[in-house]
Structure 1
Amino acid sequence: MSFLETGRAKPSREMVLRLGEHLDLPLRERNGLLLAAGYAPVYAESTLDSPRMASVQAAIRELLNAHEPFPALVVDRGWNLVDANGGITMLTEDIDPDLLTNVLRASLHPEGLAPHIVNLGEWRAHLLGRLGRQITLTADPELSELYAELAGYPCDQPEPEIELPGPGDILVPLRVRRAGRELSFFSITATFGTPLDITVAELVIESFFPADAATAAFLRDTPL
């Protein structure tokens, strides 16, 4: 390793791949590492509508449908909306369709969901923290631009620098005021376990669950 670090030896293709794996680099960044070392990329990047992605599309759709009536959505590496189920309309109604193309923008823009989020400062800090960690890992300039845009949106609530639990808290909830009542959610994110394609590796499924019995009952009783 010291020879590689000082330039006295050139890493083999296998060594580059092993370093990328041990550093837990995303597949896109591993391709970049290979190119920098003088090797061809090994990870393909398919379009979602390509035939080879049919099984992936089917799995996503099955997960989204099974989660109804609770909201669930799928985003790509730039937080662009890929797909969503019918339950998401409870959160997105009356939001400009142009904003809905990007989930973070739709959540934090003053003409998006933000005015309806009861704990906006807390939820905003949570989302920006997730995006910041993604930027640290990938150094993606487009994500950095998105972060700067989102950070410039107004917020009239304090934004905690550290997520500290209050009495009885076990997670950060999303509390929104919709249909004349306050609804409370927590989310679970999922990724594909053994991706060998960049597009597959970068898909994230986020499923929202009711954080209290009243929210669960309201969603179950509300037609999609």
Structure 2
Amino acid sequence: MTIQPRAAEPSVGALLRTWRERRGISQLELAGRADSSSRHISFIETGRSRPSQEMVLKLADHLDVPMRERNALLLAAGYAPRFAQTPLDDPSLGTLREGLERLLTGYEPYPAIVVNSTYDVVAANRGILMLLDGLPGHLLAPPLNAMRITLHPEGLAPRIRNLKEWRGHLLAQMERQIALARSEPLRKLYEEVAAYPVADRPGDGEPDEPVPYFALPLVIEHDGHVLSFVSSISTFNTPMDVTVAELAIETMLPADPATVKYLRSLGG
């Protein structure tokens, strides 16, 4: 039996070069941003020079490398990871969890949700649960995934009046994230949801509701009503933990008075 040699792990220089090329930045431009020289950047990328821990983090910052991948850069350079990856149910993140719960509850009756980097649902309020009412059990089984629930033909997709536009928006959002981060799980999720069949709706191609000029709305049917929302996504400033850095809070703001009136009637 022939044993295949294990492939060598990429060097820190090769990884930095990949991130620089992905961002479309020249060695000279990166050197200027990092108060270095293009010669030094070249030496790092070719392995002729070993960067200090501080230089690895500085270059990663100017290349907008995700926190998870900054740890990978440090390991490749021979240093210990700088950023912890604490499970969300760890006692040390209790204050964070309580804060998120208060935020979601305070936003009711409007929908709000917290997801991780692959759109698995971390927390959701009653506004979100209202929209999910009646979905099949296999889509609601943990881990609940926001993209899968929204675009699956047995999920919310048949209820979305402007599915073509909303689906295009979500897929483009995932494409941008994949371009910014080396996430194989996210790429697999994208391939899955992009392959879902899309059923034609009566009147496709003609907008059901006027589109607010400031944002594309999600126009969705619920219990005989047509609701319209615009979405806002928030992340944490200056996170120091991979788990926290990958959390996103999405809030759905009513886009018309009828939606406000209906949701407030439920909240009352």
Whether TM exceeds 0.5 here: the answer is yes
Whole-Å separation in 2 of the counterparts to 1:168 and 1:141: 35
- Cα 1:15/1:84, change in 2 over 3 Å: same
User: Where does structure 1 lack aligned partners over 5 or more consecutive residues?
Assistant: 159-165
| Higher mean C-alpha deviation, range 107-116 or range 87-96 | 87-96
| Higher mean C-alpha deviation, range 93-102 or range 198-207 | 93-102
Which of 47, 50, 67 is matched with 2:87 structurally?
47
Amino acid at match of 2:119: W
* Cross-structure match for 1:196: 240
State the shift of 1:2 in Å: 2.5
* Cross-structure match for 2:252: 208
User: Where does structure 2 lack aligned partners over 5 or more consecutive residues?
Assistant: 1-40, 202-209
State the shift of 1:136 in Å: 1.0
Report 1:167-178 matches (<5 A): 169-178=213-222
Amino acid at match of 1:187: S
- Kindly name which structure, 1 or 2, has the bigger radius of gyration based on alpha carbons: 2
- Give me the CA root mean square deviation: 1.7
1:11-45 per-residue CA deviation (whole Å, 9 max, x = no partner) reads: 11111111111111111011111112222211100
Whole-Å separation in 2 of the counterparts to 1:59 and 1:67: 12
Whole-Å separation in 2 of the counterparts to 1:4 and 1:193: 30
* Cross-structure match for 1:186: 230
% identical aligned pairs: 49
Whole-Å separation in 2 of the counterparts to 1:50 and 1:60: 15
State the shift of 1:145 in Å: 0.8
Whole-Å separation in 1 of the counterparts to 2:139 and 2:120: 10
* Cross-structure match for 1:66: 106
Q: Secondary structure at the match of 2:228?
A: strand
Whole-Å separation in 2 of the counterparts to 1:64 and 1:167: 26
Report if aligned partners of 2:212, 2:255 keep a CA contact under 8 Å in 1: no
* Cross-structure match for 1:161: none
Whole-Å separation in 2 of the counterparts to 1:168 and 1:184: 10
Report if aligned partners of 2:108, 2:267 keep a CA contact under 8 Å in 1: no
- Cα 1:167/1:75, change in 2 over 3 Å: closer
Whole-Å separation in 1 of the counterparts to 2:77 and 2:198: 45
Report 1:26-37 matches (<5 A): 26-37=66-77
TM-score by length of 2: 0.77
Amino acid at match of 1:133: R
Amino acid at match of 2:64: D
Whole-Å separation in 1 of the counterparts to 2:237 and 2:72: 22
Amino acid at match of 1:48: L
2:148 corresponds to 1:105 = yes
1:97-125 per-residue CA deviation (whole Å, 9 max, x = no partner) reads: 43240000000000000000000010001
State the shift of 1:142 in Å: 1.1
- Cα 1:168/1:63, change in 2 over 3 Å: closer
Moved over 3 A (4+): none
- Cα 1:126/1:157, change in 2 over 3 Å: farther
TM-score by length of 1: 0.92
The structure with higher relative contact order (CA 8 Å, sep 6+) is 1
* Cross-structure match for 1:163: none
Amino acid at match of 1:140: S
* Cross-structure match for 2:53: 13
2:160 corresponds to 1:117 = yes
Whole-Å separation in 1 of the counterparts to 2:69 and 2:129: 35
Amino acid at match of 1:136: A
Report if aligned partners of 1:121, 1:156 keep a CA contact under 8 Å in 2: no
Report 1:121-160 matches (<5 A): 121-156=164-199
Q: Secondary structure at the match of 1:98?
A: helix
Amino acid at match of 1:38: G
